[in-house]
Structure 1
Amino acid sequence: MKILTIVKKILFFNLLEDAPELRILDLSWNMIRDYDIRPICNSLKNNQSLERLDLMMNGLGNQGAILIANMLSNNDTLIELDLSNNRIEKDGADIFASKLEMNRRLKKLWFGNNNIGTFGSLVLLKAIDHIKSQVEYLNIENVLINDDFLDLYTQINQYIRPLEVIHGGIRGKLGRSHSTVSGFTIMDDIDLRYLDTKSLHAMFQRDPFKILARMAKEGGYDFPKALKQWDIEEHGHLTYSIYVTDFPTAVKDAGITLDKTLHFILWNYLKKIAKKGSVSYLQFITPLPKLNIKKPIKKKSKSTNIKK
């Protein structure tokens, strides 16, 4: 969408109020500033149909974020909101979060590439932790998180609802950070016990199950036994599948210790590969078991003898 002229803007704002079929509104890359967003927000307050609003790459700043937040606190239709790349800082994120916790409809929020720091990422997560919130996806790409964020994230996933988070890395207590996306390759000849924490996290990110299997083998843990204890049995037989919610418990029962970052990566991976709430653990079983698969019985065709 090109930059709107003044006349077109007036017509556009009127249209927003009286557009019962409007579901998606893409205003990204429009150089919309805080003074431009005010009439848009006023118009959207009366709109009862909009479900997705994309305001990416507009330079709204803190004031723009606050105006959007005020609109959001009274909105009952918006499901997805993209405010990434908008020059929003931690003060703007703080006020936005205070309004976000009042919204009962929003499910997906993009807030990445804004200069909100670990403070901003945490206040957003605290808003999502509110009892009214329904947010299940938070994208804060290129924004750092910290240990407090990880603790709260774990609690939300365990006790409130599943939540997927995309972030820019984890800042530890020493002030060092590392990204969740890495170019590390998984080398079979490296002893994981002698790896530094950053390298282990990077390798785990690439293939959590493969690294888990190696951690169990190198540590002498009977991980398959622990997994079988939580197997989803059918008619008394193992299915070699386990519920996603039980998988971290099986890891703990086996004696494998994961720090907060590894637990965070594993949980996101499990949700990604899960089918109907469960995952297969066959790759941890060596040798592979013989599955009890009943072969279909071929019916014998009746032959007819023709006498000459």
Structure 2
Amino acid sequence: MTKDCFKMIMKILNTIRTIIYINLNYCDISQIDGSMIINSLKENQLLRVLDISKNKIGDAGALALAELLNILNSLMEVNMIGNEITSKAGSEIGKILKTNRTLINIDLTYNKIDDDGILIFADLLKITIILKIFNLSRNCFTDKSAIALIAALKENNSIIYLDISINDITDDVVLVQNIERKMSIKKEQNVEEENVEEQNAEKANVESR
């Protein structure tokens, strides 16, 4: 990203605090510039979607994002595909998301998060009731983390899509199929529960007449 382009973006973000959707993918954003851009969003309480994929914001930018998620109560989707993020920043994002109440979709595909970071995400899956879509494809974690993630799903009622494909996992396809089967069963159970609730509500209305 050229200096002029960076200055223009910063001017816009520091002036307009009502942006809902920001797309900065493929902008060759460095760690320093990425951190400054993300930090400038702290006053924007309307931001819903942030796409900063395919850049080079690294751990510095990702740590700034973790701080942003801790402050901003509006973000619902974050795309950080291909940003050279490691477990150092990944762990912090996982910790922050444990108390976040708005983010439903985060994509961390094509980064460098290993077992240390993914195990934090496994802990997150045990308690989150907001997050629905989580993409961890093409990182560098092993069976240890994959098994922990799958086990965490047993305690989770919000996740509808989790992608752990193309990592250092043996029997990769089997693991992904297990996740998909788990999701399918959970969806069916949720639908059945909703149908039962609707039937009970209708019955109550009839009896009250």
Name the TM-score class by shorter chain.
0.7 to 0.9
Tell me the C-alpha RMSD between the 2 structures.
2.7
Residue 271 of structure 1 deviates from its aligned partner by 5.9
Q: Is the radius of gyration larger for structure 1 or structure 2? A: 1
Question: C-alpha distance in 2, partners of 1:77/1:56?
Answer: 19
User: Which stretch has the larger CA shift, 14-23 or 74-83?
Assistant: 14-23
State the match for 2:147 in structure 1: 147
> Which residue of structure 1 lines up, in the alignment, with residue 191 of structure 2?
277
Larger proportion of helix = 2
Provide the C-alpha distance between the structure 2 equivalents of 1:267 and 1:130, rounded to a whole number of angstroms.
Answer: 17
Secondary structure of 1:9's counterpart equals helix
1:6 to 3, 7, 30: 3
CA distance in structure 2 between the partners assigned to 1:150 and 1:56 by the alignment:
26
Selected match of 2:96 from 92, 99, 104: 99
| Alpha-carbon distance in structure 1 between the residues aligned to 2:10 and 2:121 | 29
Are 1:136 and 2:129 an aligned pair? no
Tell me the distance in 2 between the aligned counterparts of 1:27 and 1:271: 35
- 2:171 corresponds to 1:178: yes
In 2 relative to 1, CA 74–147 (structure 1 residues): closer, same or farther, beyond 3 Å?
Answer: same
Q: TM-score, normalised by structure 1?
A: 0.54
Deviation digits for residues 183-210 of structure 1, max 9, x if unmatched? xxxxxxxxxxxxxxxxxx38x94xxxxx
**Percent same amino acid among aligned pairs?**
20
Task: Give the unaligned 5+ runs of structure 1.
Answer: 181-200, 206-261, 279-308
Q: What is the TM-score of this pair, normalised by structure 2?
A: 0.77
Give the residue type in structure 1 aligned to 2:155. Answer: Q
Residue 45 of structure 1: aligned partner = 42
Give the secondary structure class of the aligned counterpart of 1:44. Answer: coil
Q: Is the 8 A contact 2:134 2:161 kept in 1?
A: yes
Partners of 1:33 and 1:130 in 2: CA distance: 33
1:267 to 172, 182, 187: 182
The answer to whether the 8 Å contact 1:108/1:135 transfers is yes
Which gives a bigger RCO, structure 1 or 2 (Cα 8 Å, sep 6+)? 2
Q: Measure the CA separation in 2 of the matches of 1:89 and 1:106.
A: 21
Q: 1:146, 1:170 within 8 Å by CA — same for their partners in 2?
A: no
- 1:24 Cα offset (Å): 1.2
Matched, 1:126 2:123: yes
Distance 1:86 1:38 in 2: 12
Query: Kindly tell me: are residues 268 and 27 of structure 1, through their superposed partners in 2, closer, same or farther at Cα, counting changes over 3 Å?
Result: same
In structure 2, distance between residues paired with 1:117 and 1:13 = 32
Q: 1:165 is paired with a residue of what secondary structure?
A: strand
- Structure 2 CA distance for aligned equivalents of residues 271 and 102 of structure 1: 23
Shift, 1:61, TM fit = 1.4
Q: CA deviation at 1:270?
A: 4.4
SS at structure 1 position matched to 2:163 = strand
Q: How does 1:171-250 map to 2 (within 5 A)?
A: 177-180=170-173, 201=174, 205=177
d(CA) in 1 for partners of 2:46 and 2:36? 18
Other structure's SS at 1:277 match: helix
